[in-house]
């Protein structure tokens, strides 16, 4: 804490890992030397830079850009870019730290990184977003590359922003390489990448439920968020026969007792992705639904909860409400959406709880598949990518069970994910010497 003042999210993420990994290290001599854990919590490199751009009124605007290059032991740095006014060093370091373990869990050769800027895309014109992305990439381009560091999307960065950043990278470097993932299909993107995080979280939920001989079909599901991850989690859960009754954004949540089916979801996608509107606009078309302003959906009765918006969006009281309402499974689609106190509530109640670094790894895994396709200069079919995604999620689940199952049969997915993620990175670091 002394070394990283004012970085509560980073400390939170490190604590959570240390709690489960330190006892494992104590039992395994091999990992006790060469300051392994101390090296893992220290970013290999942090780049902070000025991003200057001109808004539509001709005013000069200044933002702060970042790239955290956390760990490259098992592959080039890999992790998304976030554009949100809350972005700061602490949040990006927590995300880059988590990413290192997550990428290790996918079994693909990707190190950990994360980046972003405190730019708020809300209310900006198309041209302003483009100029910002170009200004951001003008500096970032010096620090990344297909074999060095391969960024992707995250909150506030979707296909549109990745496209603008890719265009600028290509213009500056005069090379067409797989330097970013989440690209459009016409210029090297992978089928299923937009869907992958949400789909993967639902596949992971299926595996979790199967350990209790339960099935996702017929379950009532509460989802938070209405962005990329939430949209495709809802799509896949609905396809598999579940009923999703809520979605949300930073203003509030909608509750539709009849379920958000495929047609209703396509309306939400139009509101959020094209009109760039608010989730409450849903009621203009579906007035039977309810809109609850300023709240998160955890008070709604459900069997399964999928938090898919942002960090620390589900606190201890929310967790208690979910448990009291009979929820049996919480699968994180977002990164660290549950506070540490909420996780304790879930684990004490012995419900199925998966941390984002395991259950939302489908996105980066599919980004890894995009990198492979770019290197091979070919593209796989949607079915092929989806099959690989499913098997990667099954493997991650198996790793969590391997390291997280206790004598009573309870699976501690937090412990399992942390140890399984740690082992691969630690082995690679030990083999590469003290660097
Ligand atoms: P989007 O920008 O597409 O969507 C984010 C959603 O979360 C929006 O509905 C947004 O509401 C809401 N949200 C953002 N900040 C807050 C906040 N402070 N309070 C309440 N709601 C908020 O992002 P993604 O769907 O890509 O990302 C969602 C989460 O999933 C993040 O934690 C991200 O790190 C994680 N993730 C994403 C991956 C991906 O492939 N995209 C991969 C793995 C993890 P509003 O519109 O009001 O801002």
Q: Helix 382-404 crosses helix 193-210 at what angle (to 10 degrees)?
A: 40
Model confidence, pTM: 0.97
Q: What percent of the chain has pLDDT over 90?
A: 98
What tokens does 402 get? 């391997």
pLDDT in tens, 224-261: 999 999 999 999 999 999 999 999 999 999 999 999 99
Banded pLDDT at 150 (limits 50, 70, 90): very high
Question: Which protein residue's CA is at the shortest distance from atom 42 of ligand 1?
Answer: 363
Calculate the CA dihedral of residues 205, 207, 209, 210 and round it to 10 degrees: 160
| CA distance readout (Å), 434 to 28, 34, 111, 169, 430 | 19, 7, 17, 33, 7
Residue 67 backbone class (left: φ over 0; alpha: ψ -120 to 50; beta: rest): beta
Banded pLDDT at 435 (limits 50, 70, 90): confident
State in Å: Cα 24 to ligand 1 middle.
Answer: 32
What tokens does 74 get? 């098992």
The answer to whether the CB of 328 falls within 8 A of the CB of 347 is no
Q: Ligand 1: does its nearest atom lie under 6 Å from the Cβ of 332? A: no
Hey, is 261 helix, strand or coil? coil
Work out which ligand 1 atom sits closest to the CA atom of 364: 42
ipTM over 0.90: yes
Backbone angles phi, psi at 314, to 5 degrees: -135, 110
Active site residues: 114
Which residue, chain included where needed, has tokens 């009849």? 258
The gap between the terminal CA atoms of the chain, to the nearest Å, is 23
The mean per-residue pLDDT over the stretch 177-201 comes to 98
State in Å: Cα 123 to ligand 1 middle.
Answer: 17
Work out which ligand 1 atom sits closest to the CA atom of 122: 48
State in Å: Cα 302 to ligand 1 middle.
Answer: 21
Strand runs labelled E in 231-296: 243-249, 252-255, 290-293
- pLDDT > 90? residue 297: yes
Provide the pLDDT for residue 33: 85
Q: Which of 346, 389, 412 is nearest to 202 (CA)?
A: 389
Q: Which of 73, 71, 91, 74 is nearest to 83 (CA)?
A: 91
What tokens does 82 get? 């976030």
Average model confidence (pLDDT) across the chain: 97
């Amino acid at each position: 804490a002394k070394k990283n003042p004012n970085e509560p999210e980073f400390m939170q993420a490190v604590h959570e890992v240390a709690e489960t990994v330190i006892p494992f290290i104590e039992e395994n001599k091999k990992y006790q030397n060469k300051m392994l854990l101390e090296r893992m919590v220290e970013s290999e490199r942090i780049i902070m830079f000025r991003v200057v751009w001109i808004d539509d009124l001709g005013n000069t605007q200044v933002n702060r850009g970042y790239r955290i290059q956390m760990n490259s032991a098992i592959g080039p740095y890999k992790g998304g870019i976030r554009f949100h006014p809350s972005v700061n060093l602490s949040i990006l370091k927590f995300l880059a730290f988590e990413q290192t373990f997550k990428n290790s869990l996918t079994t693909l050769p990707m190190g950990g990184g994360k980046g972003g800027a405190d730019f708020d895309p809300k209310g900006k014109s198309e041209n302003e977003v483009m100029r910002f992305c170009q200004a951001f990439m003008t500096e970032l381009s010096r620090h990344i590359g297909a074999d060095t560091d391969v960024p992707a999307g995250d909150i506030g960065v979707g296909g549109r922003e990745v496209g603008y950043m890719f265009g600028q990278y290509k213009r500056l470097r005069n090379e067409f390489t797989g330097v970013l993932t989440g690209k459009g299909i016409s210029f090297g993107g992978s089928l299923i990448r937009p869907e992958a995080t949400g789909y993967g979280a639902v596949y992971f939920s299926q595996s979790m439920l199967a350990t209790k001989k339960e099935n996702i079909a017929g379950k009532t599901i509460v989802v938070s968020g209405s962005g990329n991850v939430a949209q495709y989690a809802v799509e896949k859960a609905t396809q598999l026969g579940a009923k999703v009754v809520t979605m949300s954004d930073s203003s509030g949540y909608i509750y539709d007792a009849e379920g958000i089916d495929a047609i209703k979801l396509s309306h939400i996608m139009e509101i959020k992705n094209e009109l760039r509107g608010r989730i409450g606009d849903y009621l203009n078309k579906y007035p039977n639904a309810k809109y609850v302003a300023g709240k998160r959906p955890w008070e709604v009765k459900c069997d399964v909860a999928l938090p898919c918006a942002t960090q620390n969006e589900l606190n201890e009281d929310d967790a208690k409400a979910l448990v009291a309402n009979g929820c049996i499974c919480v699968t994180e689609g977002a990164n660290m959406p549950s506070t540490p106190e909420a996780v304790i509530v879930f684990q004490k109640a012995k419900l199925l709880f998966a941390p984002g670094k395991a259950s939302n790894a489908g996105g980066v895994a599919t980004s890894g598949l995009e990198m492979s396709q770019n290197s091979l200069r070919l593209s796989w079919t949607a079915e092929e990518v989806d099959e690989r995604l499913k098997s990667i999620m099954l493997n991650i689940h198996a790793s969590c069970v391997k390291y997280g199952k206790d004598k009573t049969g309870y699976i501690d997915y937090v412990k399992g994910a942390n140890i399984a993620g740690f082992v691969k990175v630690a082995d690679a670091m030990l083999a590469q010497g003290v660097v």
